[in-house]
Structure formats: structure tokens, C-alpha cells
Structure 1
Amino acid sequence: MAHAPAGGTDVTTVGPSKNAGKKDAGSVDLTVVVPAYNEEHRLRPTLDAIRAHLRADPDRWGTWELIVVDDGSTDATAAIAAEAAADEPRVQLVTGDGNHGKGYALRQGVLASRGRRVLVTDADLATPIDELDRLDQQLTADGGGAAIGSRAHPDARIEVRQLALREWLGRLGNGLIRLVAVNGISDTQCGFKLFDGEQARAAFAGSRLDGWGIDVEILRFFRRSGWPVTEVPVRWSHQPGSKVRPLDYGKVLLELVRLRAAGGGGAGSRGVLRTDLAVAGLFLLASFFLYKGLWADLHHAYLADAGSDQNQWEWFFRVTAENVVHLRNPLFTTLQNFPDGVNLMANTVMLGISVPLTPVTLAFGPAVTWALVLTLGLAATAFCWHRLFARRLIVHSRWAAALGAALAAFAPPMMSHGNAHPNFLVLFMIPVLIERALRLCEGERVVRNGVLLGLFATYQIFLGEEALLLAVMGMLLFALSYAAVRRDVARAALRPLLRGLGIATLVCLPLLAFPLYWQFFGPQSYHSVLHGDNAGNSPLAFLEYSGRALFGDERTADALAMNRTEQNAFYGWPLIALSVGILVWLWRSAAVRALACTAFLAALLSLGQRIRIPFTDVVLPGPWLMLAHQPLFESVIESRVGMICAPALGAMLALAVDRLVDRRGEIGEFGEWGEFGEPGEFGEPGEFAEPEEFAEPGESAEPGESGELGAATGLGALEVAYRRQRRTIRTIGLLAVAAALLPIVPTTLPVRERPDVPPFIAEGMYRSYVSKGETVVPVPVPDPGNAEALHWQSASGPGFSVPGGYFNGPWGEDRRGIYGAPARYTSNLLRDVRNSGQVPEINAQWRAQARFDLAFWKAGVVVLAPQPNDAVLNETVEKLLGRPAKKVGGVWIWDLPPAR
């Protein structure tokens, strides 16, 4: 790999051992790294100038070291550096077996460094060494990161200029580099840069370029990691004999393009691909395991906790398929709630999935589509979170990213919705949207990424609008939290982000104008859905386990949630405690602080409009009061905001586990990255975290090998003690992670056997009783609590309409949203009889009302299928209609005269 000596190249160190440098990282105040290739005429004056500057003010610079990396020079460069090392013990020479390029030389020098700060400077000192003071002051103000000596800054002083043509070509090349890779930095190629030492060693350890492009790669790493990168104006003079030529900017661009195309390079990228395929396979197996009850009997298995939702969703899939095949309006139907119909766009029909899966629905039935959507959608969501974490977090281990993604996708709230609400389970577009928004924050190809963001958001609208709203809330909470920690990054990101969002809006509007108009103003539209005052989470719900978790208890969870499909917290106290521990441990990471703040604020909002303090009678106003009556938010079940915590906690977990399993610092045992995976691909190396604080990768030297630090120093004992400490920390940390996650591992979702569709429906016998424009009226009339009639339609083909149903629609003159159809006297009567098991007194007024309601529904036949209390229902309908039923095709029917 490019960050270690390539092809088995030998690296020789003259001066303090490079192995000791890794172990003692941070043991000196400043390291100066000078890459050199055939610099015999300029190197000695440069070394003298650097040493004189650092010696002149020892209180200012403290302890320091000067590392010269000879990149296979063919002149006396190495001899001059060795002579300087002999005169000054703080000078170190690192040599290799040939000329590999500036990037290779810089990587060797930085990885051999021990400084809390690392200055890299060219051997020509085109920027004088006394400009270090400016960079040091800026790095102190920023609290870390990188300070770049910039020739392009308006306040820079160019004391000796290049030829005009050379200068113009250089500006053009630098501009192209900024456009392709690092937007917002004017001078990426200046050879005078000061870094935070730990961050520099992390960045160079993950680098792959050996040529001039190393500057761009490192700066991009810093930007993506959320570390400050500041340009500082410096004095600069063109030096005769410069190794940099204008055409070298083209080489930089070529390096960057080739690295992008290779996905980070050769065997490493193949290893990443294999890991990603393995992760995808594991997610798919886990998803199949959870839904194995459905797959065991696709046409008779019904998720036990689904209520009427499985019937509803299968109906959505079947009706959408019929609409597509017959070129009907996919946004409306009268197959439910006849004659008023259902506004499908105002319901969660997931057209983005139901339309593409039309062939599956028609060929195998909607029950197969239902199982596929849940199983594949869950696995795809987990994998997309994995890709986001691997690309945007500094997680060198893809398995750490996978564990965080598993928490994000398989968290208790998600699995609760996995019983009944695929629009809150199938969230694979949310990580994609976040990734595109982050690219906009970086100013990367704003127009292209803005267009893609608009298209992706449009597609998500057709998967689930409420899920998108919650995702936007989560991104906004994170953005505000991160901006509070890193205002410089927020300021830099604001303008390209706003521009990209404007472009995305312009893309969305024409695509969504008609569907959204139909949703909010079309037939059977409504403006809000009320869920009562107790729709928020209890604070205790975050500490308990869900009913279907490995350590969960159904009775405890049921008492703290609206129902089993709305257990929107239940992360468990061990995971909450672990998250607090991660926050304390990784407090230096701006991303961890922002993620923790996001999770906390989301949890607070999810408590609802009124927060009841557990075990007391104290009730406090909740922050949701500010949003409860605002457009869009008024229809949200506020406890669902707690689902935002899942990806936030998953990202924190990925960062923490990556730190624990990162074996790069185990000297002598893992010279390479080790068995846990590769760092992120170029352009996607991870976002927002801090570097590994223990040690960096590289080769180990045997005791005595360098001649300076041998066995007599006790290095071997220190190495053993260090590795033992690291392993102890790793073991304790991983045990804590296992203890936090094991209790909330989801168990197989239970199923029950669903009733068969009566032959009267399944075999089409109803057709001889129903004329065109007439309906089949099930007893009782379908409603959200009993929607078996929707199963009749979806399983046999929607060849008939029914009154009532399970959907969202309007009620009353103000068109407030409700579940199901507006109540009618006859539908209420039949529902009450079924629930009570008692026949009420039926008088002439009730019989007249039944005739009126049946006429409104244009009833052709009334059907009573076998069910609890079917005898009293039969008696009630006989009294309402004044005649007995007859049994046909496994049901009792009352044939009605043709509707007029």
C-alpha cells in the first residue's frame, strides 16, 4: 500500500529510531520535515536556517526535531543531511532505495515524526522559515488542523515572481485542482504547511499518492474530517532550479483522476469490495432471519403485531399494480370508501416501490411483494448506512461501519415499524440524501449534486414523506449542532449548501407540482391527522427494551408505547450509558459532540407536547409544542422523532468501535493496516472524526537495529507493555459494546395464520350478485380495526368495491384527517355488535337507516364471513333487512335489489 514502503522498499534512518518516533508520538513540540531530491546545492543553507531559527528562541519552540527525507538522490544530498545529523542530534535522515516522488517522501517523514506539530517545507525555503510564526499563531487559534502558507492570499507578499507565463499556467492548474478536488483553498501546492501532529500522521497514514498530488489528498482528508484548514499569507520568493513545473499541475490532476477511478487503489479496493459484499450478505441474512415466519408460508402467514396494516399494504401494492396495468390514475381509487374513494397520494402507498414491483405483484401476489419490500428494504437500508459511515466517518474498519449501520437500521424503533410500516423501515434513500448534502457542504460540483439531490428527494417523496421530514429534522439538528462546535466549517459550507438546495428545489418543483397538488387539494384530501395529547415518548421508554428485543418484555413495553408498531424509543439503558461514555471518550471530536447533541435533541422533541416526569405527578411543557400545530408537523406522531436517534447513535458507535479495533498502533505486529480493513476511498475517506490517538502505522524496527535505541534502552519491554495496554482497552471496550447491544438484538418477528379468503370471493361467485357500479358490503363494514375485506380484494383481484376501509381521509367540513371512512349509523351499529356480542333492539328507524346507508354505498350484496360473534351479527342483519341470509361459498349473503 502506498502509505507504507511500496514493494518491500527498505527505509534507513540515521538519527533517532523511526520506530521510537511512532511510539513517542507527541513527545517533542515541533517536527520539521524536509523532502529532498538532488538538493546538494540548497540543502545545507536550508538546514542551517531552520536550526538557527529554532535555536534563537528555545522558549518559543521548545523541543524539536528536523527530519530530512532523501528520495533517492543521485548527488550528495544524503551525505549533506548525514553530516548535519552528525553535528546536531535533533537532525534525522530517512533514506529509501530509489526515487518514488514527493508524496512518498513526505509520507515517510511525517510517519517518522514525533512532534505535536509538524511543519513540512520544501528544501528551497521559497517561504522563509520565519514565516513559521504566522502559521503557528493560526494553528493555535484554530485549535488544530492545518495552516497553509498561501501565495494566493490577498495579503501574501511575492518578493521574487516567476515568469508571467509560468505564473499564469500555475494559477490555471491550481484552479483546476480546486475545481476537481479541494474547493475553497486557493493555494494547495505551496510547500510550506504546519499541521497538528496527530492529525497529520493520521492523514498521511491513509494517503495513497506518491507524487505531487499528496498535497491535495491530505488537505481533502482534513476537510472531510472536519479539521480546520486555514490559508495564511506568507512571503514567498521564486527560487531558481525549482522542481515544480507548470505541467506538473496536470500530473496532479491525472493522479487524482486515476485514484478516483481505482477507488483508492489496487488490492486495497478489492479488499474493501469483498468486505462490503460480505456486509451486504450478512445484512440480507439477518433480514431474512427476522422475517422467516413470513417466508415460511407467504400466503397464510400474517405478522402478529401488524394489526390491520399488512392487509392495508398488500392492498396498496395490488391496487397500484392494477392502476399501472390498466393505465388508471395511480393517485386515486374508489375500491375502498365507495363512493367517495381514497386519495392514494395522501396515503403511504410508496409508489416509488409499488410501481417498479408491479410485475412481481401481478405474477406472485401482493403477499410476496410485502415480504420482499420488508426483507430487501431493510437489508438495503442497513447497507446504505454502512456505505455512508464508511465514506463519511474516519472508520478504517469497514466492520466498525457495519456495526454502526446495523444499529441505525435494526434499532428497536425500526423493528417496531417493521411489523407494519415499511415507509419507516425502507429508508435506503436517507443515507444517499445525507451523502449528497454533505458533498454540497464541501462545495463539490454544486450544480450536479444539487440536481441529484433534487431527484433523490423527489424519489423519497414517493417512498415516504414523513420519513423524509424526520430525516430533514435530523440533518438540521446535526447541522446546527456541528455549526455550534465548528463555526468555521459552517461558514464555509453555508453558501454552496444554500445554492445546491436552491437547485434541488428547482428540480423538485416541476416533478412534484401535480402529485402534491393532488395530495393537498385533490379529491379526498385532508390537512392534518390528530393523534391525541399522549403521542409522545415517555422518558422511561428510552431506558427500557422493546417487546421484541432479546431482553425485552412485552408488558413493560406495551405500557410505555401507543401500540406495538409505535415503540419509537426503547434503546435500553446500557446503550444510553455506552453513548455517554463514547461522548466523554471522544469529546475532542466535533462530530461526536454534534451527533450526541442531535440524539439528545431528537429524544427531547419526541417526548411530545407534555412531558410527564416519571414517578411523579409533575407535567412540563415539551418543546414539541412549538411545532405541534405547524403545517406538516401537525400530522406527525411526535414519538417517531425518537427514530432520529438510531443513525446518530449508530455513527457514534462506528467511530468508537473503529478506535477500539484499530491495530495500526501495535508496533512490530501490524506494520500495515491489519486485518480490520482499509481506510475510506479517495474522495470518500470519512468525515468529521478525530484521528487515532495512540499510534500510527508503519514498519517496526528490531531493538538495536538503528544503533541508537537498542535492546539496552528497554524498548522491547515498553513495546510489550504498550501492546498489552492497548489490548486491555480494546477488550474492555468491546465487552461494553456487546453488553449494550446484546439486550436490544431483535428477535424473529412472530406471525399468526391469517383467515383464508372465502370461496364466494376467491372463486368469483360474487360477480353474479354485483352489477356494474355496485359494491360488496362486508359485515361489519371495514375499518382500521378490522380490514380483512382488503385482503379479499388484494388476494383475489380488486374486481369489486367496498364501503369503509383503512386509509387516511377527510372528516367534516374542515377536512381534518382521520383513519378510515366517516362513520355512518349502520357501520357503527355492526361494529358495536361484533365487539359486544349482543343484538340490540332493532326498530323501524334502524331499518330505515340501514336502507339509506346501503343505498348510499350502492350495495349489491351484503356478506358475512365466519368470525367471532358471527351468529349475533347474522341475527342483527336479518332484523335490519327483514329477511334471512343464505349460505353461498362459505359465507352468509343477503342479495339486494339493484341500486337505483
Structure 2
Amino acid sequence: MSTAQATDVLEDMPAFSIDLSVVVPAHNEEQRLGPTLAAITAYLRANESRFGTWEVVVVDDGSTDGTRDLVIAVGVGDDRVRLVAGDRNRGKGHALRLGVLATSGRRVLVTDADLAAPIEELEVLDKALAEGYAAAIGSRAVPGAVIERPQSRTRRLLGRAGNVLIRRTAVPGVRDTQCGFKLYDGDRAREAFAASRLHGWGIDVEILRHFRRSEWPVTEVPVRWAHQPGSKVLPLDYVRTAGELALLRARSVRPADVLAVVVFLLMAVGLYAGRWVDPDHRYLPDSMQDQNQWEWFFAVTAHNVAHLRNPLFTTLQGFPDGVNLMANTVMFGLTVPLTPLTLLVGPAVALALVMTLGLAATAAAWYRLIVRRVVRHRGAAFTGAALAAFAPPMVSHAAAHPNFVVLFVIPLMIERVLRLCTGARVVRDGVVLGLMATYQIFLGEEPLLLASLGMGLFAGAYAVARRDVAKAAWRPLLKGLAVAAAVSLPLVALPLYWQFFGPQSYRNVFHGRFTGNSPLSLLAFAKDSLVAGDEDTATALALNTTEQNAFYGWPLVALAFAIVVRLWEHALVKALGFTAFAAAFLSLGPRFRFPLSHTTAPGPWALFAHLPLFESVIEGRVAMICAPALGLLLAVAIERLARTPHPGNQFLGLTAVAAALIPIVPAPLPAVERAPVPAFITDGAWKSYVHGDETLVPVPLPDSGNAEALHWQTAAHFAFTLPGGYFNGPWGTERIGIYGAKPRFTSAMLRDISFTGVKPTIGDNWRAQARADFAYWQAGVLVLPPQEYQDPLRQTVDKLVGRPGKWVGGVWVWDLHGLHG
């Protein structure tokens, strides 16, 4: 039915006032309709003191039997029974639309022609509307419902499968959308049915979605129900309904939402544009050695999966001790399922794709959360989500750390926690939350820990501001969290045991004494900000280019402060403001330096610094919690500005927003030509030097300062093994986590020369130690690529080996076979 036709029907409605309209769709119902109409009219006549004036509208959906004549005959005896005839059979949805739009009742009951739910159940639905609901669904699926005569087993299974599909794709939270016994507020029902388009069963979902979008409250009421023989529902109808629901879902997507996702994707592509020019041969210098490491993580996971090896451990680097991959951020949640892609296009392209799509997906997930839970203004939601995903600290990590870029699960978890607080479906939402937490553990444990800290700060502040809400929410929340833990812990028990107690596990990672943020870094601008970027200041205030964990800029900090002051009466604003302030304060670390001085003082992070898990966190990263908190604050403020009737205030407010955001708009990440893999590797010349279980030993050995050899190894498809490497592993009797393999005399000496160019005096003791180290590494060949201090390194290795190296395939090579002879 077109909009014009719907309008015509509305104009043709009776002008008199009706308290209750009953709509009965019918197609070839001659046998069952007579008793149904008799039951309905008898009940309404007997209860006119309660339900008032009434009408019954029967819609003939193109019947070929005597349905139409039966209704006309009943109507002769009681003109309150009316017939609306369709031109042909179009489906239950079309019939309901015709019938509802032909009513004028203050309330509208729709019921099937078989009256599976007795008309007497109208009483409980009417009571629900009297309590303020806009629609009451007679439900077979909520506690208290009575099934007097069940369907056949086959039909029950089909019905349950269809209902699961409906609930998951269209109307979450409603258990029984398809029961044909519903009571609506009349005006709202006519508005919803006039806007509907579906002809089949899917119209029930379409109408409920209209009520949900309009924020009209809907409830499910338990009723008595009995299956009636002669059902018109066929198995093929379930397939048709699934198609209608897919169409309904596609139609429900707003163009503004699609545009937001597209723009997020374009922003992510623009950020990585330099690398996408040629992913295999471009490198992000701001990542330092992390791009080599992450490509290796992608490649080694694919290699292990393809060869059916343990994905949690490898000796391909760090030989002979190996690497505990679960104790490193390998992101199994992506590297394992993307194994075919990595094998097909290579780890460089796979990593670039994950970081680009992951960043866009994270922004889209924040946008979804903000639209659903914070503001409905799409522009406000877009701005807030863009800040949450593309804030300066996020862009800093975008150069090197996909585990801090691919965060789309975090907003989904936050929304699920908010659902738990309502107490509606605690067990189901707890199970889903547990599965989400499990997946996030395999994407990144540190982001999950920081997100949990941020949610804890927000929850505490909101509970203080809204004690009534907290009082109602804490029981279902704790129950849901317990369910989530019960689901998640068995799934992650073995991997976590391997991480903390398996081979090459470590207790915690020591990052240094001052890894918190300087207070000035919270107000300064990051290196990669397009307009206000300040490389010298950022370099002086941050650990390195990948750890610019604050740098929100003073205009944004000032705007956030102004928003909190102006909207302080709102509990949400109070909680967000506290979360941002507390996270920024904690990020100062266990000890911090006062700006422009050498004076230090105890920092707030000292409360967490020695707690399990927290002791491995780079505390400056806690300031990343501020990004979504500031994004949500900004979304609230922009929506408030959009609603203000004063153009002057709106102009000033939006100008302030622009002044805060424009200086921190990120510039595309710089990309350079990648150092080529030596021909010695690509041509396979190394194969004549490495036999059996022997290793190829780069000079110096790969570590966090120079991991180019990992790129050699992935280019050779892991055909050789490396000692040393760039990973987290244990050191010392206390098993403190360090970056790279445990240093040996020879590896430490070669590393020092590569940094300083200073040659030590090589005596018999050094040569003996070197030979012991070569034996420990099972070294077959030493390989020195061109580099800054190539000559001191080459001369030193000549003395350690006792013979000069050879220039082969663009590198210096020392064959170690026969060295012990």
C-alpha cells in the first residue's frame, strides 16, 4: 500500500468515536471464523461497562471460500461487525494494515481468526495499557504463560528458529513477536501501520520496530494459548519471512549512519595512505621496529596454523629458548582467522588491512554506542566517535600497535554492560558479554584492562550522582558479570595458563622509572596533528613516537572543562568529566616530574603499580581512556547546541568545538621506502650455509632496536631460524619481562658496537665466549648487512671467527662450519 492509499483509508474511517477496535485478518477462514466472531462479540457485549463502545473489523485477504459472505451475514445482525475486502490475497501483513487503518478505536486489538489466545485474555492486555504502555503483546514465551495445547514438534522447532532470527535481526528484547494477539494504543497503531510496507508476517516486527524507534513503551504479557488445527502457516513461509526481515533491516539503516561509516573508512584510509601506495615495500618510520614485529606475528601465526603447529609457542626466533606467543600481543582473534588472507597476500598487506579496517570499525562501534545510548543527533554522534577513535593518542598507536587500534569490541562490551544494568535479560546478556570478553582477550589484554578501569571510574562516579539507578542496577549487574566470568574463564583458562606459566613466560614487564605522562603532555599537541603538530615538544614529552598517550591540546581540555561546568546538573556529564579527569591524573604515573624542573613527587598510579596485571601497564596509556570520555562529552554538548533556539549561542558553541578539534586533526602517517631484503636471502644463497637445525645469525642479533631480520625471515617463509629477536620474554631468576632474548656476551657486545661504533679489544677470552655463544645458538652462518657502523662490526667479527667474511648477495657472510675443528 502506498502512502497515498494509506491516507485515503484514514480519510474514509468512520467519524464516530470508538473505544475498542478489534481487527481480524482472514484468508479462507469460513470454517473457523464463525465461532471466533461469536466468541468476540459475546464477550464484548458482556463487558461493555469495561471496554466501552467497540467494533470488529474483519479483513478478507482475497478468500476464495465463503469467508466474505459469512462476515456480511454477521454484520447484518450487528452493524458493529464490518468487512474490509482486499482485491486479492497479498498476505497477513497487508490485511492487518488495511484493517488497522480502517479502525477509529482508542485502542486496537489484533487477533488471529483461530482465536488461539482466548478473547478473555484481552483483560490482561488492557490492564497493561492502563499502566502506561503503548502496546501489549500477548506472549507465549514469558513466565506465567499457559500453553494449553502445544503445536507439533516440527512446527515448534520451526517457530523457535524463526523467533530466534526475528529477535536477533529485528526486535531484541521481545521474546514472542509473532503471537497474533496484541493490543495497541489506537493512534500510535494507525501511525505505525500507515508507515509499514511489508505484506507478510514480518509486519509484526516492522510495527514493533516503529514503536521502538518512536520510544513508545512495549510490554509482553503472559496469556493462555492453545494451538488450533488448520493452521495456514507452511514451512516455506518461514523462508519468506526471513527474506522480509532482511529487507526490513536493510530499509531501517539510515543514510546518515551509512555515511558516517563511509567517512570513518575514508579517514582511516587517508591516515594510512602513504603505506597503501605499496604495502609490501612501504614502512611507517614512526613505528620504529614495531611494523617488522607485527608482520612477523601475523606471518608466524599463519605458518603455525597452516603446518598444524602449536600457535602459542615457536622457536623460529629467540632460538633455542623460543617465544611464548600468548605472552606477546599476537592478536590471535585476528591472526588465526585471517591465516588464509595472510598466506595469500602476505603479512604486510594483511597488517595494513587490519589496521585500516580496524580503526574504521572502532569508530563505527563508538558511533553505534553513542547513537543508541547517549545522543540521537547523528552529527553529534559522528563527532564524538571520531574523537574517540582518531584522538592524538590513538593516532600515535596507529603507527605501530594494532592492539590499540582494533578496539571495536570495547564499545560493544560497554553497551552489553548497560543492558545488564536494566535486569531484563541478565543471563543471556551475561553470556554474550563473556564471549565478547573472551574475544577481546585474544585481541589485546591491556586494552581490556584499561577499558575495565575506565568503566569502573565511570560506574563509580555515576553511582554517586544517581544512587537510585545504582541501587536498582547493582544486583543484575553483578549477576551478569558472574555469568560472563563463568562463560569466559573456561574458554581462556588454557591460553592464560600458558601465558603465565608456560615456557618463556614472565611475571611482569619493566618499562622504566618514568613512563607516566608529563602534565604538560595533556595540554600539548602531538607530532602528527595536521595543524598544530609540534614534533620537538612531543618528542621531549613522550617516551617515543608510538607512546604519545595524551596530547589532547589545551583548547580541547578547556572546552571539556566548560562543558562539564555548563552541564553539571546532568549525571552523565558528571560521570564522564570525572572519568576523563581521573584517567588523566592516574596517567601521571607512580612518580612524576614537575614541569620545567627535576623535582619529582609520588604519583597516583602508585596505588596500582604493584597490583597483578597493572604492574605491566605503561601507565601513560591510561590517558587513552580520556579519548572516548571526551568524545561522549562532545556529543552531548553538540546535541544540546543543535537544540538551542538561539542562533548566536549555537554559532559560538560550534565555533568553540571547531577551535578545539581542528588543531588535533591527524595528518597522514609518514611512510618511506622499505629497506630491501638482501639478495643473499631472496636468492636463497643462505641455504648453502645453514644445514639441518642450524640458525642464521644476523649481526647484530635482532632486538627491539633493529628487527629487520624478522622481515628477512618472513620473506623467506620461515625457512630458517633466528636467535635473538623482538618479543617479550623472561630474564633473571625473578623472570622479569624484557624486550628480546636473554642477552649473551657476544650479542651484547655486537649490539653495543652497532650503537657506538667502538670496537672492543678481542682476546682469547672473547673468542672462546663467542664460540660458546655460536654453539648455543647452533649458528651455521653470521650475516652482516650494510649499516652505519658496518666496518667496526665486520672487523670485530673477523677477529671473533678467526677469518675474514665474504661479500655474498649484498651482505658480509661468515661460514661457521669447521670453526671448532
Is 1:805 matched with 2:725? yes
The CA deviation at 1:533 is: 2.1
Residue 491 of structure 1 corresponds to 471
Q: What amino acid is aligned across from residue 488 of structure 2 in structure 1?
A: C
Out of 669, 674, 677, the residue aligned to residue 749 of structure 1 is 669
SS in 1 for 2:813: strand
Residue 357 of structure 2 corresponds to 376
Residue 563 of structure 2 corresponds to 582
> How far does the alpha carbon of each residue in 1:68-111 deviate from its partner, in whole angstroms, 9 at most, with x for none?
xxxxxx99xxxxxxxxxxxxxxxxxxxxx98566589xxxxxxx
CA contact (8 A) 2:143 2:222 kept: no
Residue 401 of structure 1 corresponds to 381
Q: What amino acid is aligned across from residue 488 of structure 1 in structure 2?
A: D
User: Does 576-585 or 620-629 show the bigger shift?
Assistant: 576-585
CA contact (8 A) 2:413 2:436 kept: yes
Q: What amino acid is aligned across from residue 894 of structure 1 in structure 2?
A: W
Alignment of 1:665-680 (within 5 A): none
Alignment of 1:731-746 (within 5 A): 731-746=651-666
* C-alpha distance 436-899 of structure 1, shift in aligned 2 (>3 A): farther
> How far does the alpha carbon of each residue in 1:686-725 deviate from its partner, in whole angstroms, 9 at most, with x for none?
xxxxxxxx6xxxxxxxxxxxxxxxxxxxxxxxxxxxxxx5
User: 2 CA distance for matches of 1:873 and 1:36?
Assistant: 95
Q: What amino acid is aligned across from residue 441 of structure 2 in structure 1?
A: I
Q: What amino acid is aligned across from residue 344 of structure 1 in structure 2?
A: L
* C-alpha distance 273-796 of structure 1, shift in aligned 2 (>3 A): farther
* C-alpha distance 861-498 of structure 1, shift in aligned 2 (>3 A): same
User: 2 CA distance for matches of 1:870 and 1:281?
Assistant: 48
Alignment of 1:429-440 (within 5 A): 429-440=409-420
Out of 440, 448, 470, the residue aligned to residue 450 of structure 2 is 470
The CA deviation at 1:859 is: 0.5
Residue 642 of structure 2 corresponds to 661
Is 1:346 matched with 2:341? no
Q: What amino acid is aligned across from residue 523 of structure 1 in structure 2?
A: P
Residue 700 of structure 1 corresponds to none
Is 1:444 matched with 2:424? yes
User: 1 CA distance for matches of 2:580 and 2:18?
Assistant: 45
Out of 471, 488, 493, the residue aligned to residue 508 of structure 1 is 488
* C-alpha distance 102-628 of structure 1, shift in aligned 2 (>3 A): farther
CA contact (8 A) 2:506 2:735 kept: yes
Out of 705, 717, 722, the residue aligned to residue 785 of structure 1 is 705
Higher relative contact order (CA 8 A, sep 6+): 1
SS in 2 for 1:810: strand
The CA deviation at 1:172 is: 4.6
CA contact (8 A) 1:149 1:190 kept: no
The CA deviation at 1:896 is: 0.8
Is 1:844 matched with 2:779? no
CA contact (8 A) 1:262 1:269 kept: no
Residue 254 of structure 1 corresponds to none
SS in 2 for 1:776: strand
Aligned length in residues: 681
Structure 1 runs not aligned, ≥5 long = 1-5, 12-33, 44-73, 76-96, 105-125, 128-146, 151-165, 183-188, 193-203, 225-243, 249-259, 663-693, 695-724
> How far does the alpha carbon of each residue in 1:327-375 deviate from its partner, in whole angstroms, 9 at most, with x for none?
0000001111110000000000111111121122112211101111111
* C-alpha distance 486-767 of structure 1, shift in aligned 2 (>3 A): same
User: 2 CA distance for matches of 1:779 and 1:179?
Assistant: 60
User: 2 CA distance for matches of 1:592 and 1:102?
Assistant: 40
Out of 571, 574, 591, the residue aligned to residue 572 of structure 2 is 591
CA contact (8 A) 1:859 1:899 kept: no
* C-alpha distance 169-429 of structure 1, shift in aligned 2 (>3 A): closer
Is 1:563 matched with 2:544? yes
User: 2 CA distance for matches of 1:461 and 1:810?
Assistant: 21
User: 1 CA distance for matches of 2:244 and 2:528?
Assistant: 40
CA contact (8 A) 2:726 2:740 kept: yes
> How far does the alpha carbon of each residue in 1:591-628 deviate from its partner, in whole angstroms, 9 at most, with x for none?
12111111111111111112434345654322211110
Is 1:517 matched with 2:437? no
Out of 758, 776, 793, the residue aligned to residue 696 of structure 2 is 776
CA contact (8 A) 2:211 2:217 kept: no
The CA deviation at 1:300 is: 1.7
Residue 812 of structure 2 corresponds to 892
User: 1 CA distance for matches of 2:570 and 2:300?
Assistant: 50
CA contact (8 A) 1:148 1:190 kept: no
User: Does 738-747 or 653-662 show the bigger shift?
Assistant: 653-662
SS in 1 for 2:541: coil
Q: What amino acid is aligned across from residue 336 of structure 1 in structure 2?
A: Q
User: Does 652-661 or 879-888 show the bigger shift?
Assistant: 652-661
Residue 57 of structure 2 corresponds to none
Percentage identity across aligned positions?
Answer: 56
Q: What amino acid is aligned across from residue 710 of structure 2 in structure 1?
A: L
User: 1 CA distance for matches of 2:183 and 2:572?
Assistant: 29
CA contact (8 A) 1:860 1:899 kept: no
The CA deviation at 1:658 is: 2.1
CA contact (8 A) 1:263 1:269 kept: no
SS in 2 for 1:853: helix
CA contact (8 A) 2:19 2:107 kept: no
The CA deviation at 1:8 is: 9.8
Out of 604, 629, 635, the residue aligned to residue 610 of structure 2 is 629
Out of 581, 590, 595, the residue aligned to residue 609 of structure 1 is 590
The CA deviation at 1:727 is: 2.5
User: 1 CA distance for matches of 2:323 and 2:363?
Assistant: 33
User: 2 CA distance for matches of 1:855 and 1:757?
Assistant: 26
SS in 2 for 1:427: coil
Is 1:311 matched with 2:292? yes
CA contact (8 A) 1:366 1:795 kept: no
The CA deviation at 1:263 is: 12
* C-alpha distance 170-295 of structure 1, shift in aligned 2 (>3 A): closer
SS in 2 for 1:862: strand
* C-alpha distance 772-585 of structure 1, shift in aligned 2 (>3 A): same
User: 2 CA distance for matches of 1:883 and 1:638?
Assistant: 49
User: 2 CA distance for matches of 1:794 and 1:862?
Assistant: 18
User: 2 CA distance for matches of 1:482 and 1:812?
Assistant: 45
Out of 652, 666, 681, the residue aligned to residue 761 of structure 1 is 681
SS in 2 for 1:305: helix
Structure 2 runs not aligned, ≥5 long = 1-5, 12-16, 22-47, 51-78, 81-100, 109-125, 147-166, 176-181, 186-190, 197-202, 226-240
Alignment of 1:280-295 (within 5 A): 280-295=261-276
Q: TM-score of the superposition, structure 2-length normalised?
A: 0.74
SS in 1 for 2:548: coil
Is 1:386 matched with 2:367? yes
User: 1 CA distance for matches of 2:736 and 2:217?
Assistant: 48
* C-alpha distance 736-847 of structure 1, shift in aligned 2 (>3 A): same
Residue 254 of structure 2 corresponds to 273
Q: TM-score of the superposition, structure 1-length normalised?
A: 0.67
CA contact (8 A) 2:323 2:729 kept: yes
Residue 799 of structure 2 corresponds to 879
User: 2 CA distance for matches of 1:291 and 1:567?
Assistant: 18
> How far does the alpha carbon of each residue in 1:784-831 deviate from its partner, in whole angstroms, 9 at most, with x for none?
101111110112211111111110000001101111111111111111
> How far does the alpha carbon of each residue in 1:294-328 deviate from its partner, in whole angstroms, 9 at most, with x for none?
11121221101111100000111111111000000
* C-alpha distance 827-513 of structure 1, shift in aligned 2 (>3 A): same
User: 1 CA distance for matches of 2:345 and 2:570?
Assistant: 50
User: 2 CA distance for matches of 1:742 and 1:797?
Assistant: 44
* C-alpha distance 882-753 of structure 1, shift in aligned 2 (>3 A): same
Alignment of 1:20-39 (within 5 A): none
